[in-house]
Amino acid sequence: MTRLPPLYELHAAAGASFTDFAGWQMPVSYGSDLAEHHAVRTAAGLFDISHMAEIRVDGPDAAAFLDYALAGKLSAIANCQAKYSLLLNEQGGIIDDLVVYRGGSANSYLVVANAGNRAPVVEALHERAQGFKVAVSDESDQVSLIAVQGPASRGIVEQVTGIDLSELKYYWGIESTYEGKPFFVARTGYTGEDGFELYVGNYNASQLWKRLLEAGAGVGLIPAGLASRDTLRLEAGMPLYGHELGVDTFPVQAGLGRVVALAKEGDFVGRSAIEEGPASTARKLVGLVTEGKRAGRAGYPVFDGDTEVGIITSGALSPTLGYPIAMAYVDPDSAASENLTIDVRGTRIPATVTTLPFYKRAAK
């Protein structure tokens, strides 16, 4: 059954076009995905990402449980700090990539999962909770998630919430209230820009969305959909589950070996497989750039000379950079080759391997 986000009527009234995403009708754009992309890079964009899953983990064993259930050392993060982590299967494959927040107390965590993986993540956490003094609660249906991304985002969020965010560091959050109800502001995002993700109850989501639009109108804030979100995250070299990540992918293949805390004491699900590692012939993720305007898209083959050595996982003509970019899995012997080409509808386009990310905002 197709589900509608709590803000659906506001999106429809704003002229959004919709797409099915993990069973949700989500706004893909409000007119021009290029304008939305550029707004995030130069001013600010407002995203509804309420399709994401929020799972609460509470109890005296919460930290130890997450150290076992996930591949990172979650017990090491401080109150209100966030950490990017991975949920692995026993074979070392990626069930989902997650952001985990430690709450205001040491015994409470919020696990944020991808919409399409909500069910397997909840199931895996419940199964792995056996023997730990924890409660795993799926709160996804009660929580709306709104993201404000871009260089003007801080001023907009401060104006609406009254919270001073000047000292809030990247991947940290603040517990507060909005209209007398619990509210959480995190300095996180999926665009490569400075930005904030606002966790609010469904009952306050519409009012918050409207106030953010009003506050940001004078500085260039516009609503933005999934199309611009995808090109933004691609420029930032951020993986997308189902494209760069999956159950057949080892973290090290995707450049995420650093996320796996092999140095931590104790076992975690998938540890033995991770320590053994993928086969020496396993493909690895690389960034590719080409000239012209014809971009390699997901599924297009990559060649080294006359030999097919890989496949594009994500690709687009970069709105910010002005040339085509792509991420691809290629054979390890071709990961530094100078003879790669992408087959773009029957035409071989020369491609150059580059370090990710393609785009990085200027430091301030």
Is 312 in the same domain as 226?
A: no
Domain span at 341: 279-354
CATH number (domain holding residue 349): 2.40.30.110
Does the pLDDT at position 106 exceed 80? Answer: no
Is 292 in the same domain as 225?
A: no
Q: How many domains does the chain have?
A: 2
Query: Is 221:203 a contact under the CB 8 Å cutoff?
Result: no
CA–CA–CA angle 17, 20, 26 (5° rounding): 50
Is 229 in the same domain as 165?
A: yes
- E strand intervals along the chain: 17-21, 24-29, 44-48, 53-58, 82-88, 94-102, 108-113, 135-138, 143-149, 173-178, 181-186, 195-201, 221-223, 284-289, 301-304, 307-317, 324-330, 340-344, 347-350, 352-354
Does the pLDDT at position 363 exceed 80? Answer: no
Distance CA 46, CA 213 (A): 8
Is 30 in the same domain as 165?
A: yes
Prediction pTM value: 0.96
Q: What is the pLDDT at residue 364?
A: 62
Distance CA 18, CA 180 (A): 32
Taking only the tens place, the pLDDT of each residue in 135-144 is 999 999 999 9
Is 164 in the same domain as 228?
A: yes
Query: How large is the average pLDDT for residues 145-170?
Result: 98
**105 pLDDT band (50/70/90 cuts)?**
confident
Taking only the tens place, the pLDDT of each residue in 277-293 is 999 999 999 999 999 99
Six-digit token string for 313: 């996982």
Q: What is the pLDDT at residue 249?
A: 98
Is 231 in the same domain as 283?
A: no
The answer to the question of residue 119 being in a domain is: no
The answer to the question of residue 123 being in a domain is: no
Does the pLDDT at position 265 exceed 90? Answer: no
- How many angstroms separate the first and last alpha carbons of the chain? 46
Helical packing angle, 33-42 and 226-235, nearest 10° = 50
Question: Positive or negative, the Cα torsion across 324, 330, 334, 340?
Answer: negative
Taking only the tens place, the pLDDT of each residue in 267-279 is 999 999 999 999 9
Taking only the tens place, the pLDDT of each residue in 42-83 is 999 999 999 999 999 999 999 999 999 999 999 999 999 999
Burial of 37 (0-12, 13-18, 19+ CB in 10 A): buried
Is 228 in the same domain as 283?
A: no
Distance CA 144, CA 49 (A): 8
Question: Positive or negative, the Cα torsion across 314, 316, 319, 322?
Answer: positive
The answer to the question of residue 362 being in a domain is: no
Does the pLDDT at position 236 exceed 90? Answer: yes
